[in-house]
Chain A
Amino acid sequence: MKNILINLLKSILFLVLLIIILELITIMLLPKYSIKKYGFQNTVKYEILQEKPDTIDVIYLGDSLVYSSISPMEIWNQYGYTGFDCAKAAESIANTRKHLEVAIKHEHPKVVFFEANVLYRDPNKRPWYYRLKSEVFSVFAITKYHDNWKQIGIKKSKIISNVNKGYVYMTKLSKYKPIRKINNPKRLRPIPEGNIEELKKIVKICKDNNIKLVLINNPSNKSWIYSKHYATKKIAKEYNLEYIDLNLADDLKIDWTRETKDKGDHLNHSGAKKVSAYIGEYLFSLGLLEDHRNDNKYQEWNRAYKYYSEN
Chain B
Amino acid sequence: MILSSSSTTKGLFDVLTGGEPLSYFNRIYLFLFLPLVVLIYNLTPKRFRPVILIIASFICFFMMSNKLIVFLILSILSIYLSGRLMNKVDDKTEKALKKCKKTEKKVVKEKYKKKKKIILVLTILINVAFLFYFKYLNFFAGNANIILKWLNIKYSFQILHHLAPIGISFYTLEALSYIIDVYNSKIKAETNLLKVTLFLSFFPQIMEGPIARYSDTAESLYSGIKVTYKSFCFGYQRILYGLFKKLVIANRLNILVKIIFNEYMNYSGLSVALGVIGYTIMLYMEFSGTMDIVLGSGEMFGVKIPENFRQPFFSKNISEFWTRWHISLGLWFKDYIFYPVSLSKPMKNLTVKARKKLGNHFGPLISGTVALFTVWFLNGLWHGAGWTYLFFGMYHFFMILMGNIFEPLIIKICQKLHIDRKKKFYRVFQSVKMTILVFIGELFFRAPTMKNAFEMLSRIFTKISFKTVKNGELLSLGLDIHDYIVLILAIIFIFVIGLLKEKGKNIREDISNKDIFTRWILYYALIVIIIVFGAYGIGYEPVEPIYADF
Q: Which residue of B lies closest to A6 (CB)?
A: B229
- Let me know if A164 and B538 touch, CB within 8 A: yes
Give min CB distance, A49 to chain B, whole Å. 18
Docked pose: A174 CA to B19 CA in angstroms: 11
Contact B8 A146 (CB under 8 A): no
Known: A149-B533, A150-B482, A263-B8. A133 touches B16 (CB 8 A): yes
B483-502 interface code vs A (CB 8 A; 1 in, 0 out): 00000000000000000000
Central interface residue in B5, B229, B524, B538, by most chain A CB within 10 Å: B538
> Per-position contact with A for B1-36: 1 when CB-CB < 8 Å, else 0?
000010010101011100100000000000000000
Chain A CB within 8 A of B363 CB: no
Q: A149-B533, A150-B480, A262-B8 are in contact. Are A17 and B524 (CB under 8 A)?
A: yes
Q: Which residues of A contact B19 (CB under 8 A)?
A: 170, 172, 261-262
Kindly state the separation between the CA atoms of A31 and B304 in the bound complex, as whole angstroms. 47
The residue that A143 contacts in the complex, of B15, B16, B478, B531, with Cβ under 8 A, is B531
Q: Is B520 an interface position by the 8 A CB rule?
A: yes
A146 contacts across to B, CB distance below 8 A: 531-534, 536-537
Number of interface residues of B (CB under 8 A): 27
Q: Which residues of A contact B524 (CB under 8 A)?
A: 17-18, 21
- Distance in Å from the Cβ of A295 to the closest Cβ of chain B? 25
**A183 touches B (CB below 8 Å):** no
Q: Contact between B538 and A169 (Cβ–Cβ < 8 Å)?
A: yes
| Interface check A63, CB cutoff 8 A | no
Residues 519-549 of B contacting A (Cβ, < 8 Å): 520, 523-524, 527-528, 531-534, 536-540
Is the beta-carbon distance between A163 and B538 smaller than 8 angstroms?
yes
Task: Decide yes or no whether A127 CB sits under 8 A from chain B.
Answer: yes
- Residues from chain B with Cβ under 8 Å of A164 in the complex: 538
Smallest beta-carbon distance B61→chain A, Å: 22
By a CB distance below 8 angstroms, the chain A residues around B516 are 10
Q: Which B122-168 residues sit within 8 Å CB-CB of chain A?
A: none
Chain B nearest CB, measured from A29 CB (Å): 8
Over the window 250-274 of chain A, the binary record of Cβ atoms lying under 8 Å from chain B Cβ atoms (1 yes, 0 no) is 0000000000011101000000000
> A25 to chain B: closest CB distance in Å?
7
Within 8 A of A (CB), among B442-478: 478
Minimal Cβ-Cβ distance residue in B for A7: B229
Interface contact A18-B527, CB-CB below 8 Å: yes
Distance between Cα atoms of A17 and B520 in the complex (Å): 10
Is the Cβ of A311 less than 8 Å from the Cβ of B538?
A: yes
A10-B527 Cα distance, complex, nearest whole Å:
17
When the two chains form their complex, are residues B537 and A147 in contact, meaning their CB atoms are under 8 A apart? yes
| A63 CB, min distance to chain B CBs, angstroms | 13
Provide the residues of chain B in CB contact with A7, threshold 8 Å.
Answer: 229
What is the 8 Å Cβ interface bit string for chain A, positions 140-178, against chain B (1 contact, 0 not)?
A: 001110110110000000000001100001101010000
- Which residues of chain A have C-beta atoms less than 8 A from B533's C-beta? 146, 149
8 Å CB contact of A149 from B5, B532, B536: B532
Interfacial chain A residues near B482, Cβ < 8 Å:
149-150
Closest A residue, CB atoms, query B15: A129
**A282 proximal to B (CB < 8 A):** no
- With A144-B537, A146-B537 as known contacts, state yes or no: A129 contacts B16, CB within 8 Å: yes
Docked complex Cα distance between A139 and B538 (Å): 19
Q: Mark B309-325, 1 if CB is under 8 A from A, else 0.
A: 00000000000000000
Q: Is A22 an interface residue (CB 8 A)?
A: yes
Interface 0/1 of A177-214, CB less than 8 Å to B: 00000000000000000000000000000000000000
Partner of B8, one of A149, A170, A174: A174
With a CB–CB cut-off of 8 A, which chain A residues contact B14?
A: 262
A289 in the interface, Cβ–Cβ < 8 Å? no
Inter-chain contact B531/A127, CB cutoff 8 Å: no
Chain A residue contacts of B8, Cβ below 8 A = 174, 262-263
- Report if A265-B10 is in contact (Cβ < 8 Å); known contacts: A18-B524, A25-B528: yes
Which residues of B come within 8 Å of A, CB atoms? 5, 8, 10, 12, 14-16, 19, 229, 478, 480, 482, 516, 520, 523-524, 527-528, 531-534, 536-540
Interchain Cβ contacts under 8 Å between A and B, 26 examples: A3-B229, A14-B520, A17-B524, A22-B528, A22-B531, A25-B528, A127-B15, A130-B15, A133-B15, A142-B531, A142-B532, A143-B531, A146-B531, A146-B532, A146-B534, A146-B536, A147-B537, A147-B538, A149-B532, A149-B533, A163-B538, A164-B538, A170-B19, A174-B8, A262-B8, A262-B10
7 closest Cβ contacts across the A-B interface? A311-B539, A7-B229, A150-B482, A146-B532, A262-B8, A129-B12, A129-B15
If A21-B524, A174-B5 are given as contacts, then 15 extra A-B residue pairs at C-beta distance below 8 Å, sorted by A number, are A17-B524, A18-B527, A21-B528, A25-B528, A129-B12, A129-B15, A142-B531, A142-B532, A143-B531, A146-B531, A146-B533, A146-B534, A147-B537, A263-B8, A311-B539
